[in-house]
Structure 1
Amino acid sequence: MQGFFQRYLLLYRPLISRLNELLSESELSYSLWQVIFFVKNNGPSTLVEISVHFNVEKPTITRTVQRLEEKQIIKVIQGKDRREKIITLSESGEDLYQTCRQKITKLEYEVMRGIPRDELNAVFEILPKIRENIINLEGDRHE
């Protein structure tokens, strides 16, 4: 289906801009929010788990986590060995999550207004499958 990715990118960029604008009220960016969201929904997590989930290099996640720690949004707990760090939300991080989640949910409803539920459900189911196919293609490249 030619043009699918072009349509996706035309959606993605303005959405990220809007999210960054919305999150800036809380002195966050979308990249910081992603880590907060992941830890909130997956529980205490290691840097490796977070970097694998987002398919980014560990140093990128390390810098993001350091910024969140400086803002006292997350706590870093020593793992089983001294190299492993476990990330969890602080109390203020939990509060910030709730505040931002409400704003993002409102935005989600606004941008999806007028789209039938069955169409939204289809996209919700299809996008993770496309992501999995892309990751599988990357795996094939490294074999």
Structure 2
Amino acid sequence: MQGFFRSYLSVYRPLIHALNELLQPCELSYSLWQVMVYAKEHTRASLVEISQYYGIEKPGVTRRVQRLEELGYLTCAPGNDRREKSLVLTELGMRVYSECRAKITALEERVTAGIGPGPLERTVAVFGQLLGNLK
């Protein structure tokens, strides 16, 4: 079984490196990208929700959000609770998201070339089960 996790890590590290290179022209990293994805998929996302979803400490999410605000990709609006911010992609953030999403999709297609949908779907299911077991 040790070979499974070793194999996973041998793919994970080069993939994150490739993603960071791909995102760098937009001054993004994979960790910043994660926040953008969450904000895109969840209207009015909060720092707490992002922190819980990715299992990241709230100060780490706060730093990422601040950087995305500096870049003009994200804006914070008051949430239902005054202490909680609600995060929304700006118009520029939406354009950058679309541009990066297209590049990431091309990378995903290149990396999974020659692998049929069945094995990929089973792999996604296995990763979901692994995550559930870890939690």
Short-chain TM bin: over 0.9
Q: Which residue of 2 aligns with 1:62?
A: 62
Identity rate, percent: 48
1:37 shift after superposition = 0.7
Q: Which residue of 2 aligns with 1:17?
A: 17
Superimposed CA distance per residue, residues 18-65 of structure 1 (whole angstroms, 9 cap, x where no aligned partner): 000000011111100010011111222110000000001000000000
In structure 2, distance between residues paired with 1:109 and 1:43: 28
Q: What TM-score comes out, normalization by structure 1 length?
A: 0.91
In structure 2, distance between residues paired with 1:39 and 1:132: 23
SS in structure 2 of the partner of residue 62 of structure 1: helix
In the TM superposition, structure 1's runs of 4+ consecutive aligned residues that sit over 3 Å from their partners are none
Unmatched tracts of structure 2, length 5 or more = none
In structure 1, distance between residues paired with 2:57 and 2:8: 24
Matches within 5 A, 1:39-118: 39-118=39-118
The RMSD of aligned alpha carbons is 0.9
1:82 shift after superposition = 2.2
1:80 shift after superposition = 2.3
In structure 1, distance between residues paired with 2:27 and 2:89: 16
In structure 2, distance between residues paired with 1:80 and 1:116: 45
SS in structure 2 of the partner of residue 3 of structure 1: helix
Amino acid at match of 1:81: D
Unmatched tracts of structure 1, length 5 or more = 136-143
Residues matched between the structures, number: 135
Q: What TM-score comes out, normalization by structure 2 length?
A: 0.96
SS in structure 2 of the partner of residue 12 of structure 1: helix
